[in-house]
Structure 1
Amino acid sequence: MAGAFQYKPKFVDIRVRPPTPGEAAQTDDVYALKPGERACDHPGCRLAGSARAPKSRDMLNEHYWFCQPHAAEYNRNWNFFAGMSEGEIKQRQAQSAQGDRPTWDFKAGRFSREAAAAAQGFGQGKGYRDPFNLFGSGNGGAAGVRTPKPESRRLGKLERNALADLDLDENADAPTIRARYIELVKRTHPDSNGGDRSAEHKLQRVIKAYQQLRKAKMA
């Protein structure tokens, strides 16, 4: 080709400088670690270790550094409970449910402020007011505070009518209900009145009321 037709780009030097011996060695090693990287701890691996794994269950704060493939292999073969008995496994699981932290009894020591208050008669209602008798001290009336009356039990209309038929109030307990039922049956039964059936209607109401209270598990 004549020299007049040869390609001669201007302002561009396309010549390639041959690498120095040090640069050639670095270029040939595709597994070379970058600055700040550490090698994988798996024997013979030249990749960078980017994933950490605990060395054992007794050294959870000490880790191996693996590349991703060897980290996955290590996780597949990891067994936290290896070599432990069934009882040790259950104990470890119970500790894990508590966050692996020790637990203590929820009570004050004998030298605490609460113990000193109890020694001075706190449990007997001395030195404090208990208007609602939360501590069972019977100190509800201290300082003119009235102790609230216990709330009466909630009854339905059928239960209230049944107690009324037995001539009982809403606070009657099971033994009282049974005793009143027996008393009214004897009083209103015709056999107890010489065959007089004038109180038979009352007897039917008493029986029905008692059955209703038994159904409500009050008798």
Structure 2
Amino acid sequence: MISSASSASAARSRVSISPATTPISTLSRYAPHLYRTHPTAKDRPITTDPPRRTQRLHGRLDREAPCDHVGCPNPGEFRAPRSNRAPGSDAGWQFLCLEHVRAFNIGYNFFDGLSPDEIYEAQSPLAGWERAASPRGREAFTFGDAHDLFTTESRPRPPVRKWSGFGDPQALGALGLDDTATAIDIRRAYKRLVRRYHPDSNGGDRAQEGKLQAVVNAYTHLKSASAFKSES
């Protein structure tokens, strides 16, 4: 009885253990996939060389022609202007190696060969930004402000015309004056012309009475103007 009970217990143990144990031959089917996905350190290649990084300097060109510096056999892979006056074309450029383009940059002077006026223009804060603009083009970026509500310097104010009343220009013209005349100028012109055209100044000749009357009428008109009164 004891032996049969022991056999049954051992059988149950084998049954409970067998699902948890998988033959090694079964795992070998998944091993290549696992190693490909998660390689261990021993599976990685061993090398003593540091990782290489492709270095490409800014402005380097793929050219095999030699450097334009006399006697230099290295390839001219960097473009540099022959002078600051040369146009931006192949005719105005030289191609140098790294050593000679560095030496060129150290000794390059942009203002070499420029006149004082050209240097001043190049040093201006707005150098290269000037552009011609027509009056119509300037007004395209403004808005109407007839009463100067937003600015007092939007446009120059027209000069105030002192003699702007009806008939003022004709009256000033009769006295030989223009619209810049003052009240003092008008009085002086009136007295001078009255003496010139008065019959007593012409030996009693009344031939200039028409001009004299025009001078009197002009003076009478201007004397009643507000501009004349403000200066009197």
The structure with the largest alpha-carbon Rg is 2
TM, length-normalised to structure 2 = 0.29
